[in-house]
Amino acid sequence: MTSSQALPGARFVDPKILLRVGNLELLARHVVEGFINGLHRAPYFGASIDFAEHRGYVAGDDIRRVDWRVFARTDRFYVKQYEADTNTNVSVLLDVSRSMKFSNRGVPKLEYGCFVGACLAYLAQRQRDRVGLITFDNDIVSHVPPSAKHFNVVLHTMERARPERPGNLPIPLHKMDAVLEAIKPLKFLGNDLIVFHVLDPAEIDFGYEDASSFEDLETGEQIPVVPESLVREYRSMIQAHILALTTKFSEHRIDYTVLNTAEPLDRALFSYLSSRERLMRVR
């Protein structure tokens, strides 16, 4: 524990959060090809406890895998095959554009995102998955390739992440078609996508009172705003936007979760992971 705290970025792996979500698993919904045994289903048979099928014995098969009960019934040699469990690559894509430095009532959005990414990376690393990190704004800022040994590097990179430049994705993030266009390539490669939409409570309820000039963190544009005059419209628009995103992502079998930075992360993450586990059984 001492050594992990000394590690840069170790603060993102909060024991309080892990205490709540540590027993959960982050499993890939798809079959993945890994090199070692893990928790994910592999496209081939392996040495798991999950029975898959029988096949006829061929020369060279290990005779220990012959199902003697079937031989007794059929007088033929059949070999039992088990589903293979393997590991996979988990990459955390973290938005580090300027809008992520926003903080009104809770922690800054970037820090909250780092907590989410670090927790997920920890879970993956604990289940022997390879973890990596990509931070981006308008471009890729840093890239940590997935590796079983890169967990510390991921944390270190998160620690160094600074929201300095405007991002390109935030703009499409609010334009649903563009969002999907940006994400689809990832989906096409057979990846299992989980989208965490980190929002500050101020972004949701627009709880400002005094008329002021509002500056767009991404563009730097300033607009005089009388909050009381548009708060109702704003709230309805943001809710409609979230609802639309939820719908669109669901259509593409992408998990989409809104994280409110005012909420404790352990509760939000537990809620998501437990529901994902529950849905995995259904699927």
Partner 1 sequence: MAFLTPFFLLGLSAIAIPVLIHLIQREKKRVIEFPSLMFVRRIPYQSVRRRRIRHWALLLMRAAAIALIVAAFARPFIHQGTVAAAVGGGAREVVILLDQSASMGYGDHWSRARDAARAVVRGLGADDRATLVLFDKNAEENMRATSDRTRLEAAINAAHVGSGATRYGPALKLAESILSRSAIKRREAVLVSDFQRSGWSGSEEVRFPEGMTVSTVSVASPNSANLAVPSVTFARASFSGQERITVTAGLSNKGDEPLKDVPVTLTIDGHEIQTERATVAPHAAGSVTFAQFTLTGPNVRGSVRAGADLLPADNIFHFVLAPSEPVSLAIVDSGDRSDGSLFLSKALSIGTTPTFHVDVASASRVTPTAFDKRAVAVLNDTMFPPAGGGGVLKRFLERGGGLLVVTGDHTTWPPGEAELLPGRLGATVDRTSGRSGSLGYLDYSHPVFEVFKAPRSGDFSAAHVFRYRALQTLPTDRILARFDDGAIAAAERKVGAGRAIVWTSTLDDSWTDIGVKPIFLPLVHQLVRYLAHYEPATSWFTVGQVLDLTARAKGRADKSDRIVVTPSGERISQSSAGEGSEGLLELNEQGVYEVRSSGAAASPPSRIWRRSIRASS
Give residues in contact with partner 1 (CB under 8 A). Answer: 99-100, 102, 109, 170-171, 174, 200, 202-203, 208, 210-218, 221-226, 228-230, 233-234, 237-238, 241
Cβ-based burial of 273 (10 A; exposed 0-12, middle 13-18, buried ≥19) = buried
* Residues 6+ positions from 47 with CB-CB distance below 8 Å: 37, 82, 84
Which CB, 75 or 209, lies closer to partner 1? 209
Which CB, 4 or 229, lies closer to partner 1? 229
| Backbone phi and psi for residue 92, each to the nearest 5 degrees, phi listed first | -100, 120
Which CB, 177 or 210, lies closer to partner 1? 210
Smallest distance from partner 1 to CB 135, Å = 17
* Residues 6+ positions from 39 with CB-CB distance below 8 Å: 25, 27, 85, 87, 127, 128, 129
For residues 258, 259, 261, 267, the Cα torsion angle rounded to the nearest 10 degrees is 140
- The encoded tokens of residue 150 equal 């890169």
Which CB, 67 or 218, lies closer to partner 1? 218
CA gap 47, 32 in Å, rounded: 16
Which CB, 9 or 113, lies closer to partner 1? 113
Smallest distance from partner 1 to CB 193, Å = 22
Smallest distance from partner 1 to CB 238, Å = 6
Cβ–Cβ < 8 Å for 237, 204: no
Smallest distance from partner 1 to CB 220, Å = 10
The tokens 């499409």 sit on which residue?
Answer: 172
CA gap 194, 92 in Å, rounded: 10
Smallest distance from partner 1 to CB 211, Å = 6
Give the three-class secondary structure for 165: coil
Based on C-alpha coordinates, what's the Rg of the chain? 23
Which CB, 120 or 198, lies closer to partner 1? 198
- The encoded tokens of residue 4 equal 């992990």
Smallest distance from partner 1 to CB 271, Å = 23
Smallest distance from partner 1 to CB 113, Å = 12
The tokens 């430095």 sit on which residue?
Answer: 101
Which CB, 218 or 266, lies closer to partner 1? 218
